[in-house]
Amino acid sequence: MEMLALWAFLLLLLVVIGSLLGWTGFFRARDLAARLARLEQELDRLREGPVVTPSPAAEPLPDSQAQAHPADAPPGVESDPVPPVKPEPQADHQDHTSASQEQTAPLASPKPRRTPGFIDHLVKNWMIWMGGLCVGLAGIFMVKYSIDAGLLGPQARIALALTTGIVLHAVAEWLRRRRGSDPAFAALAGGASITLYGALLAALHLYQLFDPRLIFALLALVSLLTMALALVHGPVLAAIGIIGAYVVPILVSDNSGNIVGAMVYSLIISAAALLLLRQVFRPWLWWGMVAGALGWWLISLTSHQPDNLRGIYLALLAWAVVAIPAFDWSLLRADSGAIQPGAQLKVIMRRAWRLDQLSLALIILAWGYSIQLRGFGPLGLTEQLAQWAPLILVLGFAARQRDFLGWLPWLSLGVQWLAWLATAVTFDYARNRYQLQGIEPALESAFLQFAGSMALLYVGLAVLHLRARGFSHRWASLAFVSPLAWLALSYLLVSDLAQSLAWSVAALMVGLVYGFVAAWRLEKYRADGAAIWFILGGHFAYSLAAGIYFREAGLTLALAAQLLSLAWVMKRYDLPWLALVIKAVLALVVIRFTFNPWLASYPVDVHWSLWTGGGATLFCALAAWQSRASPGLNRWLEAATLHLLVLTLGAEVRYWLYAGDIFVERYSLAEAAINTSLWTAMALTYWYRADHSEQLAGLYRTCSRILLLLAAASYA
């Protein structure tokens, strides 16, 4: 039996050695074929004809000879002196020389080719990588064959497999040093790493020879060494190391549920991968790193153990994405403009985005989803800030010297705002609609403290940027609008703020202060940029004050009232850009008034349709009158006034026919008649608005046709 095992081992060794010799011969033949092809190309180029070298230019004649009489002048006849001849043949020589250089330029310096992608690389070298995979599988099957045949003991089998993997790595490095880098040598090294992976996993799962923690460390070491060898073997070996490193905790799982340890390990591997990408970069390697890091965040959602650490994990990942490629550990160094892995561009929707921008945006979305799942629990203020504030700090400091990241703090504010709002939204199956439930009463005070702290954090980051870099619309808007955004969120989630006179007065005072500062700055500096955001912030605060006190229908009227004041400010201070703000506010009023059945619930005993719809129509008409100096905006507001008037008349008809219950849920002949009349009037209104719109004419005409079809169907 021992003799049979010895013969089997020698046979396997002979197969491996033969394979290596065959590979060496194949590579040598391919090298010779490449050299022969180059020689044939050179020979063909020489056969095209000898290179014509221009004759040396004739030297110019001396001035004494140039001014002498011509030789063929008749005797006794004085000839005119010949002007000096300028040496022009030298220019011809230069032209010929430059022309010859242009002809030989493509041969001497060809255009650099685009770096092939991952798929191109595999298509070109698929046989080589198939051979590397076969080497790896051969190492795994060697262990399996020894198990099935009972040739060697468990320790001997694992030792033999580990030795084979190490020897293959040594052979790949020896070949690389002798012959230079080649995809075949990288494939051989990849097969060696696969052999080591298989041997260590077999030692754990089949024989339980070692402690799982030791196997985990050894597998991580193999992955890191594989990533290090990618510096000399190329990107595909880097992919093997990165993928293997991220899946190691899954392969060596002992069912202990230690997700936190796996997340710490994932951060270490991500940092190592980012360091590797500085030397061996491919876009698919970058996205592999992002997928692995966010993949472990996704796995963490299956356990409650890391509930209080996901925000910190994502903040550290965001810091690594920005800091490691640039070696800017404090995130305060100015962008040097050097090419870095994250600076590579990806075109999405006809716009070029940097890889680090897209990666940070994905991290922010994951952060927002973590907030939505976690909710505002019974943790203290310090714990809540420690979990969710680090990412905001990372983004704020990273964007301070990197203008291309300046929109990310705004994205974090919007995502966080929507995430906290989503935590309080539930579905009412009885009414078949979503409803806003709000924060638990016991946690309302803590949430108000958290909201105030977050507002101060955003304002502080914006002020630091404005002081260090000067005025910027993006950061000025963050400083002035973010406190009001948190106030609006508190108004929606904290029930004590509803119809609260104190909070309403506080919001109104903020709006008055903003308006006073805006007027003062505009009087001194007509084109002051900061005054823009004081104006918008003041109007936003005024809307909040009205919404907090009046609730529901009062908010629509409060928004409509801003149309008149914005039109007056635009006319008084000659600020044409306010036309966009007026259109945005008016669009919000129309949307809210149109979708009232799904956005709000009004008491039956309040005649809200008259003073809300009629008031909005009146304010829109006054704004149109105030903007007579801007014909385009004036026509647009007049068409919008007609739109609001039709909606108001439709609501009034329902109010009087249904005794105040405007959104009654029954369909009758009266309802069909109302719908037919309303949809026909709205179709005509949209067609009229299309004639006075520049960008949305097509959309308005489409809506008009749809409403006309609905009216015809209701009539039928």
429-455 residue pLDDT tens: 666 666 777 788 888 888 989 999 999
Give mean pLDDT, residues 660-687: 79
As given in the structure block, the two tokens for residue 391 are 């990412």
Q: What are phi and psi of 348, to 5 degrees?
A: -130, 125
pLDDT for 70: 41
- C-alpha–C-alpha distance, residues 334 and 232, integer Å: 31
Q: What is the pLDDT of residues 406-428, one digit of tens each?
A: 899 999 999 999 999 888 887 76
Report the C-alpha gap between 161 and 166 in whole angstroms.
9
The Cα-based distances of 606 to 170, 431, 588, 661 in angstroms read: 86, 21, 23, 10
In this prediction, residues 167-183 reach a mean pLDDT of 83
Phi, psi of 630 (to 5 degrees): -115, 95
pLDDT value at residue 493? 84
Residue 323 above 70 pLDDT?
Answer: yes
Q: pTM value?
A: 0.66
% of residues, the chain, pLDDT over 70: 72
DSSP state of 60: P
Average pLDDT over residues 644-658: 83
> What is the rounded (10 degree) CA torsion for 553, 554, 558, 560?
30
First-to-last CA distance in the chain? Answer: 93
pLDDT at 304 over 80: yes
DSSP 234: -
What are φ and ψ of residue 427, in 5° steps? -105, 125
pLDDT of residue 660: 64
Q: What is the pLDDT of residues 62-93, one digit of tens each?
A: 443 443 344 344 333 333 444 444 444 444 44
Residue 605 has pLDDT above 60, yes or no: no
3: pLDDT strictly greater than 60: no
Which has the closest alpha carbon to 238: 200, 291, 276? 276
Please state, in angstroms and rounded to a whole number, the distance separating the CA atoms of residues 472 and 147.
70
- Judged against a pLDDT cut of 80, whether residue 45 lies above it is answered with no
Average pLDDT over residues 703-712: 88
Secondary-structure breakdown of the chain: helix, strand, coil percentages, each rounded to the nearest 5: 75, 0, 25
